[in-house]
Amino acid sequence: MQQLRWTTALSTLAMALCAAPALAAFPDKPVTLIVPYAAGAGTDSAARTLATALQNHWKQTVVVTNIPGADGMIGSQHVLNAPADGYTVLFQIPQMLMWRWTMVGTGVEIQKNFRMLGKIQQTPLVVSVPAKLPAKDMAQLAAMCKTASPPCSIGTATTVGEFLGRQIMDAAGVGQDKVTFVPYKGGAPMMNDLLGGHVTVAMASSVGAMPQAKAGLVRMMAVTSPKRFSLLPEVPTLRELGYDVVMTTWYGLMAPKATPQAAVDALVAGIKAVSADQALLESIRKNGAEPLFGTPGDFEREVAAELTALKPMMEKFMNQR
C-alpha cells in the first residue's frame, strides 16, 4: 500500500511538471538599449553596431533609443525608472563618472545605481582643428590661443571633452580667459560648427574626427590615449608632446542594480558571445574604435580606479568652470 501511494504521488508530480510551462530563455521579448546622447554621434553609432550583433545572436529584436539631455543624465534615469528586468539597459561612456562632482544632488552615480555588464570598445578624444587653420601643431595652436582676439573657442560634446580641453590649456600655459568653451548636445553638430569655422578646436571622438580628416577637412593634432591609437598611428599622443593629459573614452553596457542575476548572466553571456563575432569587430574598427571586451569585474575595478584618479583633477576643474 505504501509503495502504491509513493507511485501515485510520483506520477502526479511528473504530470504536474509536464503541464507547467518551461521557463523562457532570456531574452524572450525585445531588449532596449538606451543611449543618453543625440542620434548620429559616436555613442549612438557604437550602440547600433552592438545592437545588430546582439540581435543576430539572440534572434530577438534589440532596439536603440536615444534619450539625450542633462549630460547623459535623463536617459540614464529613464533606465533606472524602467522595470529592472534586464530588458532596458544603458549604453554609456565615462561622462557619467563625473556626475559625482557635476550632478551633486541627483542621487545618481555609476557605482551606486548600476551593475557593470561589460565594456565594448574604446576611443581616444582627438584634438581636431579645421584643415585651413594656420596652426599646424599643438605648439602653434597654443601660441595662437595665447594672443588670439577674440579668444580661441573649444567645442565639447561632453563634460569629459571640456575637462580634457581645460587640462590641455593649463598644460600649454594658456590662461582660462583666453579660451571659450562651447558645449554641444552631440558630436555631429560640434563637427559641423568646426567645419564651418564657428569654433577653433573640437575635442572630438576618433569616430567623429576620422572621416573628416580622411576627407581633408580636419587636421588631427593629438590623441588623449596613453599610447598612440592603433587606428591613427601617425597622430601623436598629448603626453608625447609634453602635455600630461590622458583619458580614453570607453563605451559600455550596464543595468540597474536591482536587475535579477539570471538576467544579468544572460546579458553578460550575450556580450561574451558577440565579442568573438568577426563582423562586429571589423565594424567597430571601421567606425574608428578599438574593440574592448572584458568581464563585469574588470569593468567595475577600472571604474573604481578612474574615480579615484579623477578626484583631485575634478576638484580643480569645478573651480575653473
Same CATH topology for 31-122+249-320 and 124-223: the answer is: yes
pLDDT at 4 over 90: no
Tell me what the mean pLDDT of segment 250-275 comes to. 97
Retrieve residue 145's grid coordinates. Answer: 590661443
Q: Where are the domains of the chain?
A: 31-122+249-320, 124-223
Q: What is the pLDDT of residues 157-194, one digit of tens each?
A: 889 999 999 999 999 999 989 999 999 878 888 999 99
pLDDT digits (tens, 9 = 90+) for 27-79: 999 999 999 988 877 788 899 999 999 999 999 999 999 999 888 999 999 99
Number of H-type helices and E-type strands within the chain: 12, 10
Per DSSP, the three-state class of 16 is helix
Band (pLDDT 50/70/90 cuts) for residue 2 is very low
Q: Hey, what amino acid is at 278?
A: Q
Q: 117 is written with which cell numbers? A: 555588464
Split at pLDDT 50, 70, 90, the class of 24 is low
Superfamily of domain 31-122+249-320: Bordetella uptake gene, domain 1 (3.40.190.150)
| pTM of the predicted model as reported, rounded to 2 decimal places | 0.84
CATH architecture for the domain at 124-223: 3-Layer(aba) Sandwich (3.40)
DSSP string, 107-139: ---HHHHEEEEEEEEEEEEEEEEETT-S--SHH
